[in-house]
Structure 1
Amino acid sequence: MKVGKSFSYGIIKQGNSIYKGIVNKGKKDGKGVFTDSLKRTFTGIWHNDTLTSGTRIDSAGIYVGQLNANGNAFGHGIYKSKDGFIYEGHWENDQKDGFGMAILSNNKLKIGEWKNNKYKGERPYYTSERIYGIDISKYQHMVGRKRYRINWNQLRITSLGTLSKKRITGKIDYPISFIYIKSTEGKKLFNPYYKKDYHAARAKGFYTGTYHYFSPSTPARLQAYNFLRRSYIRKGDLPPVLDIEPLPSQINKIGGAGVLFKNIRIWLRIVEHNTGSRPILYISQSFVNRYLPLAPDLERDYLVWIARYGEYKPDVHLVYWQLCPDGKVNGIHPKVDINVFNGYRGEFNKFVSKHTL
């Protein structure tokens, strides 16, 4: 069937591959359907034997978008797998690479940067519009044998640390909106600067919270009562935080992750019962990846504060993200942990309205 002066409908066979469509001088050139040796079916538009865009169907799903000469996703495209996964965004050589959005089979969204088929997360900009906070302990009062006071009238963030790349717009001179202070660790330890720092933070109008550093080898009940006995949990405070940072060797020593989570639940229940506030979990990204799936109830029911010093925002349900351990704050001589709230002023106002005591 003729379709133009030198164009015609034809069939081209190459080994186990077959093309049916518009042909020009023996080459695929126009609309057509092509099945390759991998049993993938392409429906689209060819130019000079090269498929430039179209639909690719294989055993795993359907891709619609730009393609390269090898039939691989290249450029912008949409992929839908048979198990319900959907991705729309940029591709490089058949891999998700660049900015894109995915909908998982459980309807969870992943929006942000992808690299070599792996989701890296959102790479946010840091500006004065973000909501920043710090967490402090006795180490913000000492360097070696020297002791330092915090000048509460001068507190401003001037550096977000140097351990990771960050996209920053404008000068770093950020106000502090919230402060967490360590009070206790294990069943006996107590931060000697806690009470003074807590009162000072509250007096200066900062949203203030208190955290406990969890010891995996110490009875959780004793740790909870140490925290409750020595900490201020008052009206207007942010939810208490359980800081969980065990080494894999410590987890193995106590009998595994199941034992650890059993103890964590004991601490959480006691503290929530006595304060009326559900605590927040402070955990690392590696802990999330390796252990948290073993405790789906905690992953589902508790807000998370992630310690991850990376370029991309963690792909978890989080409320705070610790950006660095080496930030700088006017009024505090040693280095300081800098944190950012997962949202802007409107979301932060809703959070404190709902979750403060």
Structure 2
Amino acid sequence: MTKRKIISLGVGIGVLIIIVVIIYGITNIFNQEKGKDHLVRGVDLSAYQGNIDWKLLADQNIDFAFIKATEGNDYVDANFKTNWEESQKTKIKVGAYHFLSYDTTGKEQAKNFIDNVPASKNTLPPVVDLELYGSYEENPLTKEQVKVILDEFLNTLEKNYGVKPIIYTTQRIFKMYIGNDYKDYKIWIVDLDNYWPDTLPNGETFTFWQYSHRGMLDGYAGDETFIDMNLYKGTYAEFMKEFF
């Protein structure tokens, strides 16, 4: 073996070690044992994950979960009722989310959500999932058009549940439709490209961060192999103080 080959092999092994250390470090950070200062890890899920073993999910350092409830003015997730009831038998803090449609009014969609999601002081605030879909990917509505639907939905839910809903969205949609208009709402941001996004595009701080669409945990066996993974911005003590 030549000296050059030995050096190349040494460099290769060094790089491999660094990669392993980084992966281990990130995994270790996101899987800390629970305590008042541990990072607060959560999931969001729907019927695509199938039947959920909520106790097993909780045993994997999962602190919170957002469960899909409704979409548009008439769709209800097939597993929502079961997930909602079973999840609350564990220590996981849960909330429900609604996928916003651009094809019907915010009031009609709010009624669908309210008819299916019980009001409770021991749950996280409701969430509106603001995305582009279908033909709206290529031909999105204007900010003014979306604002009419979104405001109706948010205001109706706040009156019913007594708390401002959380807005879930991507960096792109945030820039298109949120900007500086919703600074008094908590934001759940999707950002798969940054280790820990410092701020939102408007300079404000996010509350929840979705960092992966390809998490894998035990406790579900639906059509979807992966599960979305999320973190709260602060410690567990701060999480409990903010919401409970």
Q: Same fold (TM over 0.5)?
A: yes
Q: Distance in 2 between matches of 1:152 and 1:303?
A: 26
| Aligned-CA RMSD value | 2.0
Relative to its length, the structure with more strand (as a share) is: 1
* One-letter code aligned to 1:332: Y
Find runs of 4+ consecutive structure 1 residues off by over 6 angstroms.
none
2:192 aligns to what SS in structure 1?
A: coil
Contact 2:210–2:228 at 8 Å: present in 1 too? yes
1:59-101 CA deviation, whole Å, 9 max, x = no partner? xxxxxxxxxxxxxxxxxxxxxxxxxxxxxxxxxxxxxxxxxxx
The Cα of 1:247 is off from its aligned counterpart by: 4.6
* One-letter code aligned to 1:217: D
The 1:225–1:252 alpha-carbon spacing in structure 2 relative to 1, beyond 3 Å, is farther
Could you say which residue in structure 2 is the equivalent of 1:150? 52
* One-letter code aligned to 1:302: Y
Contact 1:268–1:279 at 8 Å: present in 2 too? yes
Contact 2:132–2:140 at 8 Å: present in 1 too? no
> 70, 75, 81: which one pairs with 1:195?
81
Q: Distance in 2 between matches of 1:307 and 1:234?
A: 26
The Cα of 1:152 is off from its aligned counterpart by: 2.1
Could you say which residue in structure 2 is the equivalent of 1:178? 64
Contact 2:58–2:90 at 8 Å: present in 1 too? no
* One-letter code aligned to 2:176: R
The Cα of 1:261 is off from its aligned counterpart by: 1.2
Could you say which residue in structure 2 is the equivalent of 1:277? 163
> 253, 257, 263: which one pairs with 2:149?
263
Q: Distance in 2 between matches of 1:127 and 1:254?
A: 38
The Cα of 1:213 is off from its aligned counterpart by: 0.5
> 205, 208, 211: which one pairs with 1:323?
211
The Cα of 1:251 is off from its aligned counterpart by: 7.7
1:270-316 CA deviation, whole Å, 9 max, x = no partner? 010111111000000111233322xx231x11000011212332322
2:56 aligns to what SS in structure 1?
A: coil
Q: Distance in 1 between matches of 2:67 and 2:141?
A: 31
Contact 2:105–2:152 at 8 Å: present in 1 too? no
Q: Distance in 2 between matches of 1:133 and 1:338?
A: 6
2:212 aligns to what SS in structure 1?
A: strand
The 1:155–1:216 alpha-carbon spacing in structure 2 relative to 1, beyond 3 Å, is same
| Larger RCO of the pair (alpha carbons < 8 Å, separation 6+) | 2
Count of aligned pairs:
203
1:153 aligns to what SS in structure 2?
A: helix
1:163-202 CA deviation, whole Å, 9 max, x = no partner? xxxxxxxxxxx50111111110000100111011111110
1:198 aligns to what SS in structure 2?
A: helix
> 297, 305, 323: which one pairs with 2:181?
297
2:195 aligns to what SS in structure 1?
A: coil
Q: Distance in 2 between matches of 1:233 and 1:187?
A: 19
Relative to its length, the structure with more helix (as a share) is: 2
Q: Distance in 2 between matches of 1:265 and 1:318?
A: 20
Contact 2:40–2:234 at 8 Å: present in 1 too? yes
1:329 aligns to what SS in structure 2?
A: coil
Point out the structure with max Rg over C-alpha: 1
Q: Where does the alignment leave 5 or more consecutive residues of structure 2 unmatched?
A: 1-28, 33-37
Q: Distance in 1 between matches of 2:227 and 2:139?
A: 31
Q: Where does the alignment leave 5 or more consecutive residues of structure 1 unmatched?
A: 1-124, 142-148, 158-173
Q: Does residue 352 of structure 1 match 2:240? A: no
1:108-146 CA deviation, whole Å, 9 max, x = no partner? xxxxxxxxxxxxxxxxx54513110111101111xxxxx
Contact 2:100–2:109 at 8 Å: present in 1 too? yes
Could you say which residue in structure 2 is the equivalent of 1:342? 233
The Cα of 1:263 is off from its aligned counterpart by: 1.1
> 190, 196, 205: which one pairs with 1:313?
196
* One-letter code aligned to 2:54: W
1:326-355 CA deviation, whole Å, 9 max, x = no partner? 1011112331111111111222122123xx
Contact 1:185–1:213 at 8 Å: present in 2 too? yes
Q: Distance in 1 between matches of 2:92 and 2:235?
A: 17
Could you say which residue in structure 2 is the equivalent of 1:72? none
The 1:259–1:330 alpha-carbon spacing in structure 2 relative to 1, beyond 3 Å, is same
Q: Distance in 2 between matches of 1:235 and 1:349?
A: 13
- Give the TM-score normalised by structure 1: 0.54
The 1:313–1:203 alpha-carbon spacing in structure 2 relative to 1, beyond 3 Å, is same
Q: Distance in 1 between matches of 2:213 and 2:177?
A: 23
* One-letter code aligned to 2:216: K
Q: Distance in 1 between matches of 2:80 and 2:135?
A: 30
2:109 aligns to what SS in structure 1?
A: helix
Identity of matched residues, %: 29
- Give the TM-score normalised by structure 2: 0.77
